Structure 1
């Protein structure tokens, strides 16, 4: 399929993702997307924000991403963001985008740092982005914190696998440069799935 064909396909894919999210389900269809995976504090947020050119993702310690964030980037003359669950509302202040992600996450998971597989759909229109669909997934962890369930590691891995095992999913594995790649959680996931569809991004600690 040529570039023109891909340009025509992306809006259709976005509408299908929105439709499944609206009914509270993940899509079982194999839709083209880039899944961003990594351990906690690996720098996934920095990578995603560089795609957009804005700071808009929640930051903090522990598991910050607790629901999949389907990030639909659309090249457009005007810059704004909109959520599927806030129909008709356009966000031009990206600090408010961050606050809405946090609030919507808490609505589904509570404030005990639990996770939910139901995605948040965020569309960012801007003249500075390429037409892409990325999925931000929870950072991998091994030790439950606070009220997190004892099997939090397995829950996160199962959620990741729902996305990264799809044929049309490209896996973007993020690891900090000051860590041993042999112990990279993201690379371990990639090897389990298919190293042929994995891109490894190693970040300088100053970029995380």
Structure 2
């Protein structure tokens, strides 16, 4: 949470407030589609961890080593009547506090694993959370791709679920892959491309989405694998290769020093998430300082780290801002379209 008390970046939150004012002026609050984002990637790429770092509280059942077995929708609802810092869970029934979500999700995932033949369900498990600090937004965490699973029915079940979201133009896409993984080995990233662009979907009737890259960012997780690198030449080259292969891409770690949320209380994990941006910033900056100290010395003559181009791509706060920008682009587009429709169809004399 930033100094303004909002979960979102202050500039994004201010823009959101203005968009709501415009929607209210044209009486379009109920007609606007809530911006939606789907988080995809291979199993253990860090999807659920990214979601809870974005929401700023631990909500991931992966603390119990339970895989995501169905799409999990986190619907954020702006409620200006709630006190600062207060978050109220309104779905699922019977859960009122974010702390209770982990156990509730764990039970549901275990049920699906036991009762469904493939171990996966396409039925979306819906969570709705209200806060004065939220904007209206929906994040969907889908099961991780299991491209190497020898069971064809399991692969088909998971890919069918993912395809239903990534081919849907209403959803912006956040693709997660491990930073140390080159594109030719990133079977999850390659499979997402196929699911989006195949002329015919194998599990849905949705048309191909050839422009999906315009609505997607890639997040490279487990960036700590780079922090063991000792020279700026190699670090620069690896980051540049990934940028060239994947386009708009960012880097994040999310967990440092072997911290396990399963071993700590809800309050301790909230505190860890709050401190993570500064911890990450400190460790990455120290790594860059060491690379720069080693630069220029013979016989290798290593480069300095390219801080101008690459440092702005690293960090959980960077990733949050980019997710917010995806949201903001969709929100702006929705309101412009609705306002244009309103002024054209209902008040022809008004020109937008």
**Which category of TM-score, normalised to the shorter sequence, fits these structures?**
0.7 to 0.9
State whether residues 10 and 131 of structure 1, in contact with CA within 8 Å, keep that contact through their aligned partners in structure 2. no
- Among 173, 177, 187, the alignment partner of 1:175 is 177
Q: Which runs of 5+ in 1 are unaligned?
A: 15-31
Deviates more, 1:5-14 or 1:110-119: 5-14
State whether residues 38 and 141 of structure 2, in contact with CA within 8 Å, keep that contact through their aligned partners in structure 1. yes
Equivalences, count? 183
- Among 81, 99, 102, the alignment partner of 1:98 is 102
Residue aligning to 1:135: 140
State whether residues 66 and 106 of structure 2, in contact with CA within 8 Å, keep that contact through their aligned partners in structure 1. no
**Two-structure CA RMSD over aligned residues (Å):** 3.0
State whether residues 81 and 90 of structure 1, in contact with CA within 8 Å, keep that contact through their aligned partners in structure 2. yes
Name the CA distance, whole Å, in 1 between partners of 2:52 and 2:172: 18
Name the CA distance, whole Å, in 2 between partners of 1:9 and 1:188: 38
Name the CA distance, whole Å, in 2 between partners of 1:54 and 1:61: 16
Q: Using the TM superposition, give the Cα deviation of residue 51 of structure 1 relative to its aligned residue in structure 2, in angstroms.
A: 1.7
Q: Using the TM superposition, give the Cα deviation of residue 128 of structure 1 relative to its aligned residue in structure 2, in angstroms.
A: 3.8
Kindly indicate which of the two structures has a greater share of residues assigned to helix.
2
Residue aligning to 2:215: 197
Question: Taking CA–CA contacts closer than 8 Å with sequence separation of 6 or more, which of the two structures ends up with the larger relative contact order?
Answer: 1
Q: 1:116-167 deviations in whole A, cap 9, x for unaligned?
A: 111100012234433211110000113449xxx5421121111110111111
Q: Which runs of 5+ in 2 are unaligned?
A: 1-17, 197-211, 225-252, 256-352
Normalising by structure 1, we get a TM-score of 0.74
Normalising by structure 2, we get a TM-score of 0.46
Q: Does 1:110 align with 2:114?
A: yes
Residue aligning to 1:18: none
Which structure has the larger Rg?
Answer: 2
Residue aligning to 1:162: 164
Name the CA distance, whole Å, in 2 between partners of 1:50 and 1:120: 20
Name the CA distance, whole Å, in 1 between partners of 2:66 and 2:176: 16
Name the CA distance, whole Å, in 1 between partners of 2:41 and 2:107: 23
Q: Does 1:37 align with 2:4?
A: no
- Pair 173,6 (structure 1): closer, same or farther in 2 beyond 3 Å: farther
State whether residues 67 and 109 of structure 2, in contact with CA within 8 Å, keep that contact through their aligned partners in structure 1. no
Kindly indicate which of the two structures has a greater share of residues assigned to strand.
1
Deviates more, 1:2-11 or 1:75-84: 2-11
